[in-house]
Structure 1
Amino acid sequence: MTETAEILTTKVDLPGLMKVLGHNLYSTPSVAIRELVQNAHDSIGRRRLEDAADFEPRIIVRPDPANGQLIIEDSGAGLTRDEIVRYLATVGTGYTGRLRDAGRDEGLIGYFGLGFLSAFFVSRKVELFTTSYQSPDVGWCFSSAGGERYSLEAVPARAVGTKVVLTLNETFRSLGDPRVCGDLLRKYCCLLREPVHLDDADSAPINRPPPPWRLQEALPTVRRTRIEFDFVARFERRFEPICTLPLRGDGPARGLLWVQDGFTYGTTDNRNVSVFVRGMLVSRDARELLPAWAGFCGGVIEADSLTPTASREDLQRDSTYEAVAAQVAETLVSGLAALPREQPAAWRRVLMRHNESLLGAAVADDRLFELLADQLKVPTSEGELTMPVLRQRSKGRIHVSMGEGSGYEEVLFRAMQMPVVTGTRYGALPFCGLHVERRGGEVVRLGTKQGDATLFDPVSVSPAVQARLDALLGREGQAVVPTRFAPAELPVVLVPDREAALKRRIEQDEADKRITTALLGLARLYTARIDGEVVARLYVNLDSPVIDRLLHDDGPAERQAAVVVRAFADLLTDRREGLVEVDAAAAFAGLTTALMALIGAPTTAKG
């Protein structure tokens, strides 16, 4: 810096700043109630710290719909004239933040000195009447419209504490409705320690009873479960809990998790997490604190060490946030692991309602896999089966179909009386793969060259036999492959090449619009190794007596029989599979003509 450089002070456009902070800091006007109740709560905490005299802590919120007003009154420390000027009327400076910085927080919530600005968001006029415990004979009245300027005058003293009167804007008069106000208080303030009353001090506090994890006395299991279920009902509107899991471990949080009773599928995400910091709601959508696989769970978490954003509507993603997420995941895993032993009936309901979601969970966590490996069911062509049953039925070789419909696998394996796993369902293929990796066996992915090779071992035949099969049964783009498989009564199986289908989809211009350049490049590296010329393989069973007859005789009957065999293969192929184009009408027509020729009857068209 040169000697001639000027040192200047940054200027603040106060009207502009007040507009931004008062009207844009918060996403919803309802937070004004939260912020003002928070200020009242902190004032009571401050009085406990600084005033040795006994007092009755209370916060009273009085909606006044007739006058379009909302009144928040507390029995806290109150404010002196100097404190009004220094803290209340100075943006970004708060007495609570000063106490917390000094290590004297005692459950104080506020920090930034911005909460009072929310009053100007919803009001055309804000009045504050206060008497400090430090000068109980003097009262003060603060009044402002808009927040940029204010009046301050001495008034007769009132009981120690503060009363804030909001004369609401027409747009936000609903905040003065008792029902609306009560719902918001129960939403934001239900975990505050100081009693919060609606309308008058004689009404029952809206933040009672306390959350289950604050209960000191030992309770019978049935009663504690009832208390926990009643607590969950205050936060879970769509589902009922199957079971509850109190937050465990030495992490920074306390709270309660639960498993929802609604049926879920792999992509279902009903995670429902509310987070409270120092008793005040910060977020009702903190779903990222639950593992991604836990789409069937909810929770209420209280963690004083979490750091809210300035608007107190979200949380900073810092090391404490990660520690809470780890604590939540640990509670879920250990809690689910204990359920079969402690609550077998609840465990059976969890398995029944969330089987598919748990397939993904088991792959994501080793302990869950060990718990679930032999209890979860995978979708197969013969219904849902556990892995022990599937392994027994398939002799240790797990066949997985990656097709979108019921194709050749259903025909072939039904004849073999062997189930096929529906690999397109969420979690099925990874779960089977992990199970085989841990418990032994083999996964065969049908519709791929490698997978089909385990079913259909190619048989070397003479060029003349190959030419005969090609002539009788071949189609353009389809390879005719001589092989042997069971049962012998099944003469042919038409298998779409799903790898070739993938290659075709990737290379279509339309795919370029949906896939990013980087992902498209990776996909093309894979599909470059795939020969897309052959779109399907017709496996011909040389053990079939029909095929044997076709190879050894070449009369009119055999040629008609070949038409029947080919039509049979076409009609048993799912039209959604791969690139195989099946003209069902033509196949039925050819089948009818061939059968009529075989039985020696003329074909007639009906019109």
Structure 2
Amino acid sequence: MTVLGQHLYSTPVVALRELVQNAHDSIVRRRMEDPAVPEQHLIRVEGDLAAGIVRVVDSGAGLTDQEIHRYLATVGVGYTRKLREETQSDELIGMFGLGFLSAFVLASKVTVTTTSWQTPGLGWCYQSSNGEQYTLTPAEPRPVGTVVELVLRDSYRNLGGNGMLAKILRRYCALLHVPVYIGQDDEALNGEAPPWRQAQGAVVEHTVQARRKALAFATRFEERFEPLCTLPISAGPDSDVRGLLWVQDGATYGTSDNRNLSVFVRGMLLDDDARDLLPAWAGFIGGVIESNRLTPTASREDLQRDDAYHAAQSALTEALIDGLAQVARQQPEAWRRVLSRHNEALLGAALCDPRLFDLLAESVRIPTSQGDLSVRSLLDKGRIHINMGSPGGFEDMLFRALHMPVARGDRYAVVPFLREWVSRHGGVLIELGTEHGNRKLFSEDSLPANELDWLNQVLGNGEKLVPARFEPTALPLVVVHDREAELKRRLEADEADKRISVAALQLVRAFTAQLDDSVTRRLYLNLDNPAVTQLLQAYRQGHPQAEEAAGLLQALKVILASGAEQGGQLDLNAALGRVNRIFSLLLSA
């Protein structure tokens, strides 16, 4: 009793849900078994804050004395399970015969007064203070149905207020088919049907009106964000899930996970954090769904991972993709808001399904050195350039001189998205900082060995000097870090062992083993640059100032690199001093 009653549920207030659920099933039972049953039934939950009492009243089937002994007072045995096995009804909620035990977590005393439809002239009163011992005595017959009265423990007396009861049960019972009333209210707290339950013969709503109604419903469940737009879920052959998803109005990053999903099984809230039913890429989605096929665990606070669960996952993914496409076609204003708030997350989402990629390929924006741009804006003669390192490297300087944007490969999903885009739509992706990308950017050339040796002596600081031709011609040289070599050294460092799992590290190092890290920096010398041309000519002619001119280029290299990561390798103060000295020599000549 202690384990089941006190440790089965995550929160004691679940007891209120369980008691309302029992009342609901009693009403369904009466409809099935009593031919003369009135059509209208209700559940009323009454609180008395001063007395610390809560009552749950129903007009259901009631209980005979034998049923009290056999079902109510026996752990793990419930009439609902027996009735479901006989009728295969989808209306019944209960399954395990454990819910009544939760009452003893809240209450120091539980009293059940009941009259069965089978014996309307007899009443019975069950009383217990711990669920282990109980008394059962005849009572004055009441209208057919049951009253469960809880004398609340001191720590739960606040639940006796009708306002608190309404707050708790409004969420649990939002989709329950039987009306639930609080106190003496004339309006049921679940009186408004969800948008996807279209009453038979009802007038079809105008599209705009239906969208407003769906947004209003979503707002009741979305506690942190305003819903931007809603996406309907319809039952299909593989899953009976119905409901509503929505896009949250809250900016997200690629790794943001604000998913929230409330799951109702046979009308009763089972789990209000079933985010794993939504795809992992949908970190900006909320929703409410209902199903008769999903199977609860014993606590009814989680779902069993069975075939119905996986079918529901697939159904939600399909509904999400189809819904986003429908918003893009039919609600352009809402679609623009979706893109502006969740651009980065959508970049990653596009890689998870070809249909999403087709939908988003021309809409999402790519972070670049010139702000967020569409992929088409990045194209230059069929080429897209992407910076594989951090901002501030040679790439920023080079492409600023070329007046061309370069994509930021250090941002979430940018690299795989652009690779996929090029594979689908054509073009060339130049990944700057990799050896392969550098070959596309710099056309390598050659120089005599003696000239290379001299240039290494007067210009180099440990880089591999590479004669090349590239744009713009006004740029004489540039130092390029090999990003792949940097990645290999970083991942193979001892620190990586502390941060990465053994399995992941083995996979990473299997990849990095193929990379050559013998050259970490390259100095590309632009043979089309006039200053470089004149420097080489001066060296060949033995000009006495050739080395001083080379010193000026070397100083320029350091200055150009001072804002990038390679600046730490060079002495900026010494370079500036050399510029000052050469400037003085020129003026005094």
Q: Cα distance 1:123–1:415, how it changes in 2: closer, same or farther (>3 A)?
A: same
**CA contact under 8 A between 2:558 and 2:567: conserved in structure 1?**
no
**CA contact under 8 A between 1:496 and 1:579: conserved in structure 2?**
no
Task: Answer yes or no: is 1:127 the counterpart of 2:115.
Answer: no
Deviation at 1:62, TM superposition (A): 1.0
**CA contact under 8 A between 1:575 and 1:582: conserved in structure 2?**
no
Aligned residues: 580
Task: Answer yes or no: is 1:236 the counterpart of 2:222.
Answer: yes
Separation in 2, partners of 1:600, 1:241: 73
Identify the residue that residue 262 of structure 1 maps to in structure 2: 250
Provide TM-score, normalisation by structure 1.
0.92
Identify the residue that residue 424 of structure 1 maps to in structure 2: 410
Q: Kindly, what percent of the aligned residue pairs are identical?
A: 52
Deviation at 1:317, TM superposition (A): 1.1
Separation in 2, partners of 1:243, 1:525: 45
Q: Cα distance 1:343–1:107, how it changes in 2: closer, same or farther (>3 A)?
A: same
Identify the residue that residue 322 of structure 2 maps to in structure 1: 334
Which secondary structure does the structure 2 equivalent of 1:212 belong to? coil
Letter of the 1:434 partner, please give it: E
Q: Cα distance 1:600–1:309, how it changes in 2: closer, same or farther (>3 A)?
A: farther
Task: Answer yes or no: is 1:462 the counterpart of 2:445.
Answer: no
Match of 2:491 among 500, 506, 524: 506
Match of 2:515 among 522, 525, 530: 530
**CA contact under 8 A between 1:501 and 1:578: conserved in structure 2?**
no
Separation in 2, partners of 1:344, 1:590: 59
Residues 453-500 of structure 1 show CA distances to partners (whole Å, capped at 9, x for unaligned) of: 111122121111101110111112x11111111111101111111122
Which secondary structure does the structure 2 equivalent of 1:351 belong to? helix
Match of 2:281 among 293, 296, 300: 293
Q: Cα distance 1:279–1:508, how it changes in 2: closer, same or farther (>3 A)?
A: same
Separation in 2, partners of 1:424, 1:258: 30
Separation in 1, partners of 2:35, 2:567: 84
1:434-449 equivalence runs, <5 A: 434-449=420-435
Identify the residue that residue 152 of structure 2 maps to in structure 1: 168
Identify the residue that residue 103 of structure 1 maps to in structure 2: 87
Q: Cα distance 1:324–1:578, how it changes in 2: closer, same or farther (>3 A)?
A: farther
Deviation at 1:82, TM superposition (A): 0.3
Separation in 2, partners of 1:24, 1:188: 20
Identify the residue that residue 482 of structure 1 maps to in structure 2: 467
Letter of the 1:173 partner, please give it: R
Give unmatched runs, 5+ long, in structure 2.
Answer: none
Separation in 1, partners of 2:482, 2:544: 32
Deviation at 1:390, TM superposition (A): 1.8
Separation in 1, partners of 2:235, 2:561: 55
Separation in 1, partners of 2:499, 2:470: 41
Letter of the 1:325 partner, please give it: Q
Q: Cα distance 1:163–1:410, how it changes in 2: closer, same or farther (>3 A)?
A: same
Identify the residue that residue 205 of structure 2 maps to in structure 1: 219
Residues 128-169 of structure 1 show CA distances to partners (whole Å, capped at 9, x for unaligned) of: 111111111111111111211111111111111111111112
Give unmatched runs, 5+ long, in structure 1.
Answer: 1-17, 602-607
Which secondary structure does the structure 1 equivalent of 2:105 belong to? helix
Task: Answer yes or no: is 1:377 the counterpart of 2:365.
Answer: yes
Q: Cα distance 1:107–1:520, how it changes in 2: closer, same or farther (>3 A)?
A: same
Deviation at 1:415, TM superposition (A): 1.6
**CA contact under 8 A between 1:406 and 1:574: conserved in structure 2?**
no
Task: Answer yes or no: is 1:157 the counterpart of 2:145.
Answer: no
Identify the residue that residue 535 of structure 2 maps to in structure 1: 550
Separation in 1, partners of 2:42, 2:588: 100
Identify the residue that residue 247 of structure 1 maps to in structure 2: 233
More divergent stretch after superposition (502-511 vs 587-596): 587-596
**CA contact under 8 A between 1:564 and 1:595: conserved in structure 2?**
no
Letter of the 1:293 partner, please give it: W
Identify the residue that residue 54 of structure 1 maps to in structure 2: 37
Provide TM-score, normalisation by structure 2.
0.94
Match of 1:177 among 161, 164, 183: 161
Deviation at 1:567, TM superposition (A): 3.3
Which secondary structure does the structure 2 equivalent of 1:130 belong to? strand
Separation in 2, partners of 1:582, 1:405: 19
Separation in 2, partners of 1:306, 1:600: 89
Letter of the 2:79 partner, please give it: Y
Which secondary structure does the structure 1 equivalent of 2:270 belong to? strand
Separation in 1, partners of 2:480, 2:585: 28
Deviation at 1:438, TM superposition (A): 0.8
Match of 1:387 among 365, 368, 375: 375
